[in-house]
Amino acid sequence: MLWETCQKVEDVSSHDTRSLIGDLKDTLAAFRKANGFGRGIAAPQIGKLHRVIYVNMQSGGFEGALINPVIVRQDDRRIELWDGCFSFPELLVRVSRAARIDVEYVDEQGQKQTVAAEDDLSELLQHEIDHLDGILAVQRAVSPTAFMTRKEWERAGRPR
């Protein structure tokens, strides 16, 4: 299921969509509590092929669902970082992402929104939107050797 492209959500106010958002929020909170990390989750990670992500980024002050998110602009400037994933929590992958993006989406109230995301929020949204397109972080590795375990990363002082 993680390799499949998700379908657009047609009815934001439906019971199914509201239930999905609640499940994403609860699953992310439970994962964070159990593991001590986790900032976002996409619907296919809980077995639903719908274009919904949920973000809880305390450091960036951004929390909520993004329904049908689309990257409408991205910087040429790139950032390279170690990317972790809810789907394989003990593995980190070195990836390159746009430093700044603009994302259009529909919020939980059905209103069109745009977020200008930089650095950490930018890379997180790119990661989660990739999930909606069936792309995993391992496919974005900057090289065949750009992998390390979470324990190796922590021993190395959590390099960016």
Catalytic site includes residue 10? no
In the structure encoding, which two tokens stand for residue 94, read together?
A: 């070195």
From the candidates 4, 90, 128, 152, give the one annotated as an active-site residue.
Answer: 128
Active site residues: 128
